[in-house]
Amino acid sequence: MDSENGFYSDEFHLDSKWLIDPKNLFVGPRIGEGGHAKVYEGKYKNQNVAIKIVHKGETEEEIAKRESRFAREVAMLSRVQHKNLVKFIGACKEPVMVVVTELLAGGSLRKYLMSMRPKCLDTCVAVGFALDIARAMECLHSHGIIHRDLKPDNLILTADLKTVKLVDFGLAREETVTEMMTAETGTYRWMAPELYSTVTLRQGEKKHYNHKVDAYSFAIVLWELLHNRVPFEGMSNLQAAYAAAFKNVRPSAENLPEDLALILTSCWKEDPNARPNFSQIVQMLLHYLSTAAPAGPPAIPSRLFSSENRVFTPDSPGTSSLMAIRDDETPKAKLENKSKGFFFCFNQCY
């Protein structure tokens, strides 16, 4: 069950300073999509922002689950700030669930790495990115928060391609001593083995685990940063998860500097209690960087997203706000007015 201390209340409670007036939101081109939400580039009071619009769901159970997840994400974003966590700007729940954050123009780490293949990042650059990630996770864990979905898609680069920030806290949970959490979380290829059982868990069944699941996911991301290859190549997501959980299979740590191989192998150990915490991981990464040869300039591909001064075209999905359609409008009037507000975007996207 969720924590009862109010940090992750299932109800949406937000300080007024974080409440977004939908009249001031301009929804532009879509820049990302997940199973439960879509992300758009946009503007809020002339500030370039990322606008995450959460799917409401179809069934009552689905609606309740997504509203709860939305409330938890907003609660976390509004209370925890760090230079390697995406900056929270605000949120609103009506007429739809919206989370507004800073716009990180560098694109996702996944797209950045793909744009470089088959080349790899300079090792020190890769470790520098890993240090950003580890510091973000250290901050979350210091607040008792488990991210549970650490992967390259949820790591976004700043416009200068020099800094990585962690985004998407929809699966984040507060860790408590007695808490049991759903096992079916995160993305299989990066998930820790303890999220599985020798007996297939039914959907919604609970399983014990702790913050060390994030250390395992970090190791897989670090391996990917160093090799610029998909971990567990040749396997489906489920095959990769099965191999990691039941056969103790890991990506190869050979042909790496000893210090980096040690970080990988310690973070992805089968026994969660044997894995280091993120304070220790940060120190190990800093030690490597202090002893490594100076890094050359990174190979930087062209920017993956629009420029900071992007001017939205008239056919952008949304043109003004998230204002609800008046009840007294006829269906024809509603249709004609769709292009004047956010619901044009909403209807086109769902």
> Considering 21, 122, 149, 153, which one is annotated as catalytic?
149
Q: Is 206 helix (H, G, I), strand (E, B) or coil?
A: strand
**Up-side HSE of residue 116: CA atoms within 13 Å toward CB?**
23
CA dihedral 256, 259, 265, 271 (to 10 degrees): 180
Measure the CA–CA gap between 54 and 49, rounded to whole angstroms: 16
Answer yes or no: are the C-beta atoms of 87 and 81 closer than 8 Å.
Answer: yes
Cβ burial, residue 198 (10 Å; 0-12/13-18/19+): exposed
Q: Is 149 part of the annotated catalytic residue set?
A: yes
CB 146 within 8 A of CB 171: no
Q: Which tokens go with 269?
A: 């150990």
Three-class secondary structure of residue 17 per DSSP: helix
> What Å distances lie between residue 217 and 145, 158, 264, 341, CA to CA?
15, 22, 10, 40
43 is in an annotated binding site: no
Active site residues: 149
Mark the binding-site residues for ATP, compressed into ranges. 52
Mark the binding-site residues, compressed into ranges. 52
